[in-house]
Structures are given as structure tokens and as C-alpha cells.
Structure 1
Amino acid sequence: MRWPKHTLVICTAAMLSLPTFFAQAHGDKRGVDSETLLESEHAWDGTRYSAYPQGTPQLSVLKITIAPNSSLDWHQHPIPNAAYVQSGVVTIEKKSSGEKRQVTAGEVLPEVVDIAHRGYTTQEGAVLIVFYAGKKGVPLSEAVE
């Protein structure tokens, strides 16, 4: 059986486009690169996350600038969050144990939940981008005495 010329052209074009179709369907896009910076079920100190607040989710993203030789007040977060250090160096310290973790530009820190802590800088300040997964009406952080 002989196929009409236009049918062969259409079939050939379809077969040649299949690799592109499957690549796009599976996330392979030219000019786009994806790198996972953090994937964690626990905070930087090893404490496992338990659950998100019930209700309608509210995402918040804050840019926090900490000047050189400065310290944030002691505080705790009632919701999960993660901090990306855009520039500089910040040290995170737990109030109860004094345990510390230094985080530098390009690193991500999964924050502790319901644990008193603070961040501080030395000669170099820091800029953090902090992503919060909370609920409307629930504060992002709470002061601790």
C-alpha cells in the first residue's frame, strides 16, 4: 500500500516532535536550571517538624537585614520557616543550650519551631530571605524573655 505524500510528511513531523514533547512534559526546558537548596523534615538542630497550623495557609517571605555587630532579640517561631542567607554571615544560637550554627551567603537554614533562639552578626552584617509557612492570624515570631 502506498501512502499519500502529505500523510508521510505529517507522520514524519509528528515522530520528529515526540522527543521535544516528552522532554517538555517531564520538565526538561532549555534555559531553565533548578537546584534544590533545602529539603528537610527537621530544623538545623535536629528537632523534627510536627505539623502545620490548621486552617487556610498563609505564606510570607521577609527580607531581614542585620547590621554588622548586631543581634536579634531572643524569639521563637510558632510555624515552620527557612532562611536563605543572601549575603554575609549570621550565627544562630539556641537560648536553652547555647548551641550555635553559623550560616554563610548561599546557604539555607531550616529554622527551629517553638524553641527560643536568636541570630547575630560580627564584623560582617547579613541579609536573609526568610520563607514562612503559616496561617492567617498566627504571628511569624514571638518575643521570648
Structure 2
Amino acid sequence: MSKISAMAFGLAFSLSASAFAFDANADTVQTGKREILLEATKSWNGKPYTHFTTGPAELVTIRLTIAPHTVLPWHSHPFPNAGYVLSGTLTLHDRASGDSHTFHAGEAFAESVDDVHRGESGDEPTVLLITYAATPGTPTSVSAKGEKPEY
């Protein structure tokens, strides 16, 4: 074996040995702890989800911050979405029925599809994390006639 081959072999051996040493000292492989925040077949106002997109799909996640004592404009969503209240409170109002429900920090909610509604914050800023099961190029929020955009 030539001197260069012996050096290359020694280097490769020492690198592989250090890789095994790293694995031996690595943290134990464990499964994560799952906590289901939301499983829903219907939205917060009781309307069942009846369809998802049949074309290309796109997940869109936004962080929405609403100032204290603010009412968002009336709007709807063309596809299912789920929200999580990071801080503050959110009261959702359904325009057709007049129903409302308040969600607090740490709570998840399933939003309605094609139902005109709006959100209202409480005494402190409300921060939401919302994920939409969308289609590429489609707006996630549609303003009701005569209303400003939700965001």
C-alpha cells in the first residue's frame, strides 16, 4: 500500500470512527408528544365542511394581529381554514344567524366556508395563527359587498 493510500485510509477510518462516536453519544431517539388542538368536520357555527379543492392545493399560514377593541370588516373564506389564538381573545360573529362565539388564547377554532362573518378583539391585541387549505392564486379572504378587506 502506498504512503498516500495508507494516509487516505487512515483519514477515512478516523472520520468514520468519529461519526460512530457521535452516534453513540447522541440523544435517545424518541417520539414526540402529540396534542390535538382541533379536529373538525364543521365550522364554529355548526356548518359542515362539504368540499375541498379538486384542483391543485396550497397551504397558506398567516399571522394576523388585531388591535384592541377592533371589529374586522364582514368577509368570507372560499375554503376551510383553522385558526389558533396565540394571545388575546377573538369573538367571531355570523352575519346571517347572529350567532357568536369567543375564543381565548390557547384555543383553536374551525372557520366557516362561504359564510359571511367577522372577528372582534377584546381588551388587548389579538394575535392569530391561521392556516388555509387553499388553491394557488385564490384570495384567502373575500370582502362582503361594500366592506373593506379583512387584511
Q: TM-score, normalised by structure 2?
A: 0.74
Shift, 1:31, TM fit:
6.5
Root mean square deviation of aligned Cα: 1.2
Deviates more, 1:73-82 or 1:131-140: 131-140
Aligned match of 2:58: 58
Structure 1 unaligned residues grouped into runs of 5+: 1-28
1:93 to 2:93 alignment? yes
- Size of the aligned set, in residue pairs, is 117
Name the aligned partner's letter for residue 88 of structure 1.
G
What corresponds to 2:33 in structure 1? 33
Matched, 1:113 2:107: no
Cα distance in 2 between the residues matched to 1:125 and 1:96:
27
Deviation (angstroms), 1:30: 2.7
Q: Using the alignment, how far apart are the partners of 2:138 and 2:52 within structure 1? A: 11
The TM-score, its normalising length taken from structure 1, stands at 0.77
Considering only CA atoms, is the larger Rg found in Structure 1 or Structure 2?
2
The whole-number CA distance in structure 2 between the counterparts of 1:88 and 1:49 is 27
Q: Does 1:127 align with 2:109?
A: no
Counterpart of 1:109 in 2: which secondary structure? strand
State which drifts further: 134-143 or 105-114. 134-143
The one-letter code sitting in structure 1 at the alignment partner of 2:36 is T
Unaligned ranges ≥5, structure 2: 1-28, 146-151
Is the Cα–Cα contact under 8 Å of residues 88 and 122 in structure 2 kept in the other structure?
Answer: no
Provide the rounded CA distance (Å) in 1 between the counterparts of 2:82 and 2:39: 10
**Match in the other structure for 1:136:** 136
Residues 54-106 of structure 1: CA deviation (Å, up to 9, x unaligned): 21110000000001011111000000001100111010001112110000001
Identity %: 38
Corresponding residue number in structure 2 for 1:45: 45
Q: Aligned equivalents of 1:134 and 1:32: distance in 2?
A: 28
